[in-house]
Every structure is written in C-alpha cells, then in structure tokens.
Chains A and B, each alone.
Chain A
Amino acid sequence: MGNTCKKIDRRAFLQKSGLTLAGLGAGLNAFPNYAHAGRRVLAKSPKVIIVGFDGMDPYLSEKMMDAGQLPTFDFLRKQGGYRRLGTSNPPQSPVAWANFINGAGPGSHGIFDFIHRDPSRQCAPFFSAAETVKGEGHIDYRGHQLQFNFWPFNHTPSQTLLRREGIPFWHFLDKAGIPSAFYDLPSNYPPSESEYGNHRCLSGMGTPDLLGTYGTYQHFSEDGPVRMREEPGGQRSMLFFENDTAKATLTGPQNSFLKKQVPIQVDFLVHRDIGSRAAVIEIQNHTIILKKGQWSSWLAIDFRMSLPAPFPDEHVSGICRFYLQEVAPNFRLYVTPINVDPTNPAVLVTEPADFSKKIASKLGLFYTTGFQEDHKALSNGIFTEAEYAAQAQMVLDERLNLLDYALDNYDDGLLFFYFSSTDLQSHMFWWDSDLDHPARPKDEAQYYFQHIKDIYRKADSVMKRIIQTYGDTARIFVMSDHGFANFRRQFNLNTWLRENGYLGPAEASSIMSDVDWRKTRAYGLGINGLYLNLEGREEYGIVRPAEKDVLLDELAAKLEAVRDVNGQQVIRRARRSDRAYSGAHTGLAPDLILGYSREYRAAWNTCLGDMDKTVFSDNDSAWGADHCCDSSEVPGILFSNKPIAKADPALIDMAPTILNLFGLDKPKTMTGNNIY
C-alpha cells in the first residue's frame, strides 16, 4: 500500500505501545528579480495563474470560438494570446505533464509511456511514474512480519518512489522564496518535497486509491458472481437477501503486517425496501438511507490491521461513497474506489503532509485518487452513459469547490490548477464523426459529444471569472497537455511483428507467456513503444548491437508504410528514440515511438503484450476517443492574457516562461524557451 512506512520505534517497543505506522486585465509592471535563495521575501511576489484542462483540443476549441460559443477564449485569441501547444512525444499525459514540469523532454525526466518494462527481466511491465520498492528485513512473529527501525534491527519499510527524474521548475521558485501551489498536479506522486518550504502540492494523476490501484470500484448485485470476481478497475460480488437483508463485505487494503497478506474486509448490512425503492446501509458507525438513484456522502471507513499481542492493532482510514442504482427487480449497489482519507492520509498525497487536512477542514472529504471519473465502470457495463456523466459531474463539482479554495487561499506567486473533465469525459463521450461510434448508436454518440462541448463552455465560464478577478494583476495561462481524436481502429503491433517475421513462433499469443525469445527481434509494450530484443540489454536478447541501426530503420520504414484496408496510413511517424530524445535519463526509452494517425491507436491487447488474430480491428470499447497518436496529430491549447510571440510554443516552453515572469534565469536543465 503506497508509500507507507511500517516500523516500531524503540520507546514504543519497550513500553509495549503502538506500532508507528508512518505512512503519504492587462498591463503588468516589470517583475522584480527574486533570484536569491532562502525564505520568502517580505515583498509580494508577482502573480501567475495556470489552469490546465487535460486534453482540451484546439480544433474543437477553434470551431466553438468561431461559432461564438467560447467568448472568453475568443477574446484572448483576438488579443493575440492563443496558440496550438506542441505536445510530448508520445502525447500521453504522464509524459506530457512531466515535460511541463521539467521544461524539457522525456530524456530529462525518464517517462516515455504509462508503461515501462524492466529489460533485466525481459519485458516485465511496471507503471512508469511511480515505483513501490519492497522493504528489507522483518521478524516473523505469530504469523506477522514486524519491522523495527532501530538498532540492531534497522529494518527498512517498503516505500513508493516518484520515478520522474530531473528538477521540477517549482524548485527554482521555492529556492527564490516565491510561493507556489499546485492542485491535482499529474505526474507528481508521491509529491516531491519542498526544500525551502515555499511550495505546496496536492498530487493528481498517478495517485493510487487505498488498495494501491488506480481505482477499484466495488459492485454488489443480486445477479453478481457467487464468489467475488475481479475485473479491470473493479470487482463484483453477489448480494443474497433473506427477509430483505443481505450481508456484504467491503474490500480494503492488504494487511501488510501479515506474513501471508490478505485484504482487510469490513462487513456491512443492506436492508432493502422494495415498495419505497430505498435501502438502508449499515457499515461500522454509519447508517445511511438511499433512494434509487441516490449517492451517499463520503464516509470514512476504518480498516483494522491486526498485530499480535502485545502490540495493539493499527488502523488505516479510507473514504468511499455508495450509490444505489436499483432496488428491484435486481438490487444493484456501487461503491467508489476506497480513496485515501485526506483528513487522515495513510500515504502522502500532499506536500506538506498536512496540506490535505487543511483542504478537508474547509471542504470536507473529497476524491484523492488520480483518476476520479470512473470510466472503468462505464467500460465494464456497471454504469450507463447517464450514470457516468452524473458521476463525472460530481467530480467536476468537487473540483470547482477546490478551485474556490485555491483562489481563496491564493495571495501571490504561482497557482496551478488542473481539471480532468476535458480528458476523462472526452475518452468516453468524444465522437467527432458521422461514422458509427464503437459502443453506442449515432444519435446517442452525438448527444454525448454535445456534453463535451458543454464542458468546454463551462471551462470558458471558469476562465471568465478568473480573468475578471485577476486579469489586471496576474499573468494568466490556460493550457492542455494534448488534444483529442476519435479512436476508431486499433492496430496490434505484436501481431504485426509476428506476421512479418520479427516475433516468433507463428502461433505465439503473448510476449508474457508463449513467445520464443530466440526467434524474436522486436516486441511491443505500452501504448506507443516498440523495443528491440537487444543482446546485452534484454535478458534474452538476440539482436546484436551492430545490427540495431539497420533493423530500426527497416522497422520504421515498414511501419510507416503500413496501410489499412481503405488505404489509409496507420502510423504517421515511427521515430527512433535515440534521435528523438536527449538527456541523462533515456535508459528505459522504447527504441521506436509509434505515432499513429488520427483515429488509430495501439490495440487494447498489444499494450501488455497480447496478440490478436488480426493486425487491424475496429475499436469496440466505450472508450471511444484517445490521443495516443503522433504528436503532430493532437496538439494542445495555450491561451494567455498577453500576446504570445513564439509561433510554435510547446509544453517544454512553459517552465522557462514562468521562471522568466518571476525574474529567474532559465536553468541549464531546461531546453524550452520563453514564449514572449
């Protein structure tokens, strides 16, 4: 479970007391020079506000501005403060936001995809942005494993490490005494420490739930499986009613003190009233009454981690909401992922550690996971489109409350605020086409695409308010990390490699199970990555280093020449990473970055190494839009309340621009440039 730290300190041990579980308008004056280290200066810093709308697309924005539907954005555009913003290569959010954070490309931060692999274990995959490292040392005692952090034991607990390398731009602000606050910042979990105490951050994308996943909903229904069944993003269980009462079990985090770790379970009761279409749920000290279609508020649930005597049990708090979908004829109850409790966080989700408590003291409990809109529930048929839209609206409402908090607590310096709605709702509802949508009828597809346009209008009204309040005193930016496109056709790279003799044997179905590495020169893993099976790098590598150049150029040419059945080019660019990236952290980069044409993407199965029967197939998922194409196909947006001089700004230009606004020189670690 995340970056918890399980240890017993010496005094507690000797006193037989608790185990310490340490867990997680528009003219501006010239900006004065704050280029000196130390605590913040007495004079106020300038104001810079950045609002990030993940995935906000320039083509849709321009259409809507032209139609008079985004007046605030259009106003900025007419003042010269609009550009399409160059995205990362590949245009995946963890890569893109890391480019923004470092002011430099993937060679500076070492993130090339959502998924990396460990070549010393051939192709063992792992999440690129954070790594949980196992602890060392423990004592076995009565079925538990106990760690003591004092001599002579000196055990080290497991911990989660941020894998993003390089120096984030806020470090330079921190050092100069300039305050900065980041809300829901992607690619920063666990949140990096503030060396000088002038930086605050609530981490966003990449933050796990209490189970250590990216969000696992729990679903209980009368027609559920008799034994709990896991599926990507969730788990399903059956409810069996006797006299209109059913017992159920909520799954919590693993009890990491046990030698054989099992999830902590919390029992609860469900009493249904079919006539009233309502239910009463009793869980720990909560009794909640829900009518069909109602959501509960956030509930704090206590998960008890048993410890052997004489040590008292430890407790971990998580929060969740219940949603009563149906009472009869088939009772269905959805529970959100168990989020880290911001009032009592088991893992660090903010810097400083108490920042989440301060926010919660004003706003109450709130989503702390990185992916809050439950798109998996829609993809897996737990939610209807309308239910997903409603849950996503709840997320947006919470985020707008958080924005109020952020602005109320903003004095000067840098404020960064992030919205996920434009991305996670677009993945499910974007459909900019007259062709059939993968998962819904045409008229529904158009109805829900309209919903995306409503979100863009909402973004416009949010910015209108911010500009009205701060436009004369702050430099304001609106940005996105990439754009969007329909995801209509999927391309299975591993199948293509197999059919073209680069991967064997002919009957192989997965690089994780039945591939023969002696017959495999290249494999695909992640969403945009192709790796050579390189001798001396991969555990079972066969491609000699002297063959690498010729093979890469051959693969790149062949892949760019691939055509779909209708003659359309599928891979716009296959870039060699040794030419595309520079920097100290290119070690884990794929050898080729595949940049798909709009409407194409890596097949679902190929991302974790599985093959399909055919190279091409239609996308059949409710996740009907994506952005993991070639970077030229899906730029982002950049608006500013000052005319932008640079014709082709990119994500890496934002950090040096921001530092310049505070009178700081561009550090050598950055490769971007000032956009003004």
Chain B
Amino acid sequence: MAKIKIDSNLYDRLKKVTEIAGYSSVEEFVTHMIEKELEQIEAPDDDNAVEEQLRGLGYIE
C-alpha cells in the first residue's frame, strides 16, 4: 500500500474533523475524501454527454 506524507498540523486538523464527522479513522476519512474528488474529476465525460444530448433539442444548437 502506498504512503503519503502530510504536514503534522494538517494531520491534527484531520484527526479533529474525523472525530466530529464520525469516521472510524483518519485513514477512512482521507480515503473517502480522495475518492469523492476523483469521482468529480473523472466525471466530466458524463457532463459532456449531457451537454451533447441537450444540443439535440431543436431549441439549442
């Protein structure tokens, strides 16, 4: 499994938020956040597909 180094102040902030948000560990929280971000970045094709579909309406070119 790959490891990533982060600033200790940032890690402290993560620990606090992890507790408040109810995650079982910092690892779980960080993994979830990264997955969400990746989904957004990897999703533009869907948005393009929707736009292209909308251009099929006669009211739009």
A residues sitting closer than 8 Å to B (CB atoms) are 92, 114-115, 124-127, 212-216, 230, 232-233, 371, 375-376, 379, 424, 427, 512, 527, 604-605, 607-608, 621, 623, 626, 628
* Closest partner residue, chain A, to B50 (CB atom): A126
Q: Which residues of A contact B51 (CB under 8 A)?
A: 125, 512, 608
Residue contact B59 to A379, C-beta cutoff 8 Å: no
Q: Which residues of A contact B58 (CB under 8 A)?
A: 233, 371, 375-376, 379, 424, 427, 623
B10 close to A (CB within 8 Å): no
8-39 of chain B: CB within 8 A of chain A = none
Q: Which residues of B contact A626 (CB under 8 A)?
A: 59
Could you pull out 10 A-B pairs where Cβ atoms are within 8 angstroms? A127-B50, A127-B54, A215-B56, A232-B56, A233-B56, A427-B58, A527-B60, A604-B60, A607-B59, A608-B60
A125–B58 alpha-carbon span in the complex (Å): 16
Residue contact A607 to B52, C-beta cutoff 8 Å: no
Q: Which residues of B contact A215 (CB under 8 A)?
A: 56
Residue contact A212 to B59, C-beta cutoff 8 Å: no
Residue contact A628 to B56, C-beta cutoff 8 Å: no
Q: Tell me which of B47, B50, B51, B54 has the highest count of chain A C-beta atoms within 10 A of its own C-beta.
A: B54
A566–B58 alpha-carbon span in the complex (Å): 28
A626–B59 alpha-carbon span in the complex (Å): 8
Q: Which residues of B contact A127 (CB under 8 A)?
A: 50, 53-54
Q: Which residues of A contact B56 (CB under 8 A)?
A: 213-216, 232-233, 376
B61 close to A (CB within 8 Å): yes
B6 close to A (CB within 8 Å): no
Residue contact A125 to B52, C-beta cutoff 8 Å: no
Interface size bucket, B side?
10 to 19
Instruction: Find A230's partner among B47, B52, B60, B61 (CB 8 Å cutoff).
Output: B52
Q: Which residues of A contact B61 (CB under 8 A)?
A: 232, 379, 604-605, 621
User: Given contacts A233-B55, A608-B51, could you give 16 more A-B pairs where the C-beta distance is less than 8 Å?
Assistant: A114-B54, A115-B60, A125-B51, A127-B50, A213-B56, A214-B56, A215-B56, A233-B56, A371-B57, A371-B58, A379-B58, A512-B51, A527-B60, A604-B60, A604-B61, A607-B59
Closest approach, in angstroms, between the C-beta of A146 and any C-beta of chain B? 21
A233–B60 alpha-carbon span in the complex (Å): 10
Q: Which residues of A contact B47 (CB under 8 A)?
A: 124
Q: Which residues of A contact B59 (CB under 8 A)?
A: 92, 114, 527, 607, 626, 628
A127–B59 alpha-carbon span in the complex (Å): 12
Q: Which residues of B contact A124 (CB under 8 A)?
A: 47, 50
Closest approach, in angstroms, between the C-beta of B54 and any C-beta of chain A? 6
* Closest partner residue, chain A, to B60 (CB atom): A607
Q: Which residues of A contact B52 (CB under 8 A)?
A: 230, 232
Closest approach, in angstroms, between the C-beta of B51 and any C-beta of chain A? 6
Instruction: Find B53's partner among A213, A371, A376 (CB 8 Å cutoff).
Output: A213
A604–B60 alpha-carbon span in the complex (Å): 6
Closest approach, in angstroms, between the C-beta of A591 and any C-beta of chain B? 21
Nearest 5 Cβ contacts at the A-B interface? A232-B55, A604-B61, A214-B56, A233-B56, A375-B58
A70–B50 alpha-carbon span in the complex (Å): 43
Q: A124-B47, A126-B50 are in contact. Are A608 and B57 (CB under 8 A)?
A: no
A232–B54 alpha-carbon span in the complex (Å): 8
A371–B59 alpha-carbon span in the complex (Å): 12
Closest approach, in angstroms, between the C-beta of B41 and any C-beta of chain A? 13
A230–B56 alpha-carbon span in the complex (Å): 11
Q: Tell me which of B50, B51, B54, B58 has the highest count of chain A C-beta atoms within 10 A of its own C-beta.
A: B58
* Closest partner residue, chain A, to B53 (CB atom): A213
Q: Which residues of B contact A376 (CB under 8 A)?
A: 56, 58
A126–B59 alpha-carbon span in the complex (Å): 14
Residue contact B50 to A232, C-beta cutoff 8 Å: no
Instruction: Find B60's partner among A212, A232, A371, A427 (CB 8 Å cutoff).
Output: A232
Q: A232-B61, A379-B61, A608-B60 are in contact. Are A115 and B54 (CB under 8 A)?
A: yes
Closest approach, in angstroms, between the C-beta of A493 and any C-beta of chain B? 14
Closest approach, in angstroms, between the C-beta of A386 and any C-beta of chain B? 19
A376–B57 alpha-carbon span in the complex (Å): 8
* Closest partner residue, chain B, to A230 (CB atom): B52
Residue contact B57 to A214, C-beta cutoff 8 Å: yes
A171–B52 alpha-carbon span in the complex (Å): 35
Q: Which residues of A contact B55 (CB under 8 A)?
A: 232-233, 608
Instruction: Find B54's partner among A125, A212, A379 (CB 8 Å cutoff).
Output: A125
Closest approach, in angstroms, between the C-beta of A256 and any C-beta of chain B? 13
A214–B55 alpha-carbon span in the complex (Å): 9
Q: Which residues of B contact A213 (CB under 8 A)?
A: 53, 56
Q: Which residues of B contact A114 (CB under 8 A)?
A: 54, 57, 59-60
A328–B25 alpha-carbon span in the complex (Å): 71
Residue contact B50 to A125, C-beta cutoff 8 Å: yes
A371–B56 alpha-carbon span in the complex (Å): 10
Closest approach, in angstroms, between the C-beta of B1 and any C-beta of chain A? 21
Q: Which residues of B contact A621 (CB under 8 A)?
A: 61
A353–B36 alpha-carbon span in the complex (Å): 38
Q: Which residues of B contact A232 (CB under 8 A)?
A: 52, 55-56, 60-61
Q: Which residues of B contact A214 (CB under 8 A)?
A: 53, 56-57
Q: Which residues of B contact A92 (CB under 8 A)?
A: 59
A233–B56 alpha-carbon span in the complex (Å): 4
A225–B53 alpha-carbon span in the complex (Å): 21
Q: Which residues of A contact B54 (CB under 8 A)?
A: 114-115, 125-127, 608
Q: Which residues of A contact B60 (CB under 8 A)?
A: 114-115, 232, 527, 604, 607-608
A230–B57 alpha-carbon span in the complex (Å): 14
Q: Tell me which of B47, B50, B52, B61 has the highest count of chain A C-beta atoms within 10 A of its own C-beta.
A: B61
* Closest partner residue, chain B, to A374 (CB atom): B58
Residue contact B53 to A212, C-beta cutoff 8 Å: yes
Q: Which residues of B contact A375 (CB under 8 A)?
A: 58
A213–B53 alpha-carbon span in the complex (Å): 6
A215–B58 alpha-carbon span in the complex (Å): 10
Closest approach, in angstroms, between the C-beta of A216 and any C-beta of chain B? 7
A115–B55 alpha-carbon span in the complex (Å): 11
Closest approach, in angstroms, between the C-beta of A338 and any C-beta of chain B? 13
A125–B61 alpha-carbon span in the complex (Å): 15
Q: Which residues of B contact A605 (CB under 8 A)?
A: 61
* Closest partner residue, chain B, to A134 (CB atom): B46
Q: Which residues of B contact A230 (CB under 8 A)?
A: 52
Q: Which residues of B contact A212 (CB under 8 A)?
A: 53
